[in-house]
Amino acid sequence: MRHTGIRSALCVALLLTFSAPAMAADAKSATEVRRDVPTAVKSDRMQYDAKGQVVIFEGDVYVQRPDFEMWAEKITLHLRKKAAKPGKAGAGQGADASGAAGQSGAAGMSGMDAGEIDRMVAERKVRMKRENRTGECEKATYTVDNAVLVMEGNPVLHEGENSIRGDVITFYTRENRSEVRGTSTKRVQAVFTSSGDVNPLGDKDAKPAPKDAKGDAATGGAAQ
């Protein structure tokens, strides 16, 4: 069964949990993951396949959460495989002609419930923004269980004037750190224009390399 929406301002203000987890402000619960953060999704078209348990948003897709924003030409939500709950209020409703959909209508699409998201796949002209860090790639996959975002297809991360590129960039959202992999034909490229106090990989505690007597960054090797 499929549903389509016109400018599916399916503000899927469902409490979808596919994005980077929000951390509690209290120091005692700083590592606790909140799974009730509201997520809004807007697009030109939307399809929901109950049998395949996927929701596809296409055309100028925009995702907004309190902790990050994302843009792409296509975003696919893969739902967890489980039986639909009978008697769900508003089942079968989609976005109306004005482009708006109520929360109950979005949540009631043939049994799609909040919290059932397994992973999200964004494709084509993907852009992301989180605080002062931005990223671009052709494909981004976010997995809920481990809260890991994998960027592929010419991925690049920017923070201020600093940037880093590679073949694959993996962002561990709970730890706020990234790993960049290169290949023999596509090596990791980094550009740092600050003194080192800003790090696009996410380690805010990173310090600049120590300098030798001549004022050059120490490399750890013998002088040539």
For residue 212, is pLDDT > 70?
no
Output the average pLDDT for the chain.
67
pLDDT digits (tens, 9 = 90+) for 98-152: 233 333 334 334 344 445 778 889 999 999 998 888 999 999 998 888 888 899 9
Give residue 147's pLDDT: 83
H or E element at residue 172: strand 168-172
Give residue 154's pLDDT: 93
Position 47 confidence tier, pLDDT thresholds 50, 70, 90:
very high
> Across the strands, what pairs with 158?
134, 163
Give residue 19's pLDDT: 35
Kindly state the tokens that stand for 56.
């596809």
> Across the strands, what pairs with 25?
none
Alpha helices for 56-212 (secondary structure H): 103-107
| pTM of full prediction above 0.75 | no
pLDDT digits (tens, 9 = 90+) for 17-43: 333 333 233 333 333 444 555 678 899
pLDDT digits (tens, 9 = 90+) for 51-69: 888 999 999 999 887 777 8
Give residue 37's pLDDT: 57
Task: Report the percentage of the chain scoring pLDDT > 70.
Answer: 53
Q: Where are the domains of the chain?
A: 22-191
Give residue 167's pLDDT: 93
* Burial (CB count <10 Å: 0-12, 13-18, 19+), residue 216: exposed
- Which comes out higher in pLDDT, residue 35 or 95? 35
CATH top-level class for 22-191?
A: mainly beta
Per the CB < 8 A criterion, the answer to whether 33 and 24 are in contact is no
State the average pLDDT over residues 84-91. Answer: 44
Going by the DSSP 8-state scheme, the letter that residue 224 receives in this structure is -
In degrees and rounded to multiples of 5, residue 69 shows phi and psi of -130, 150
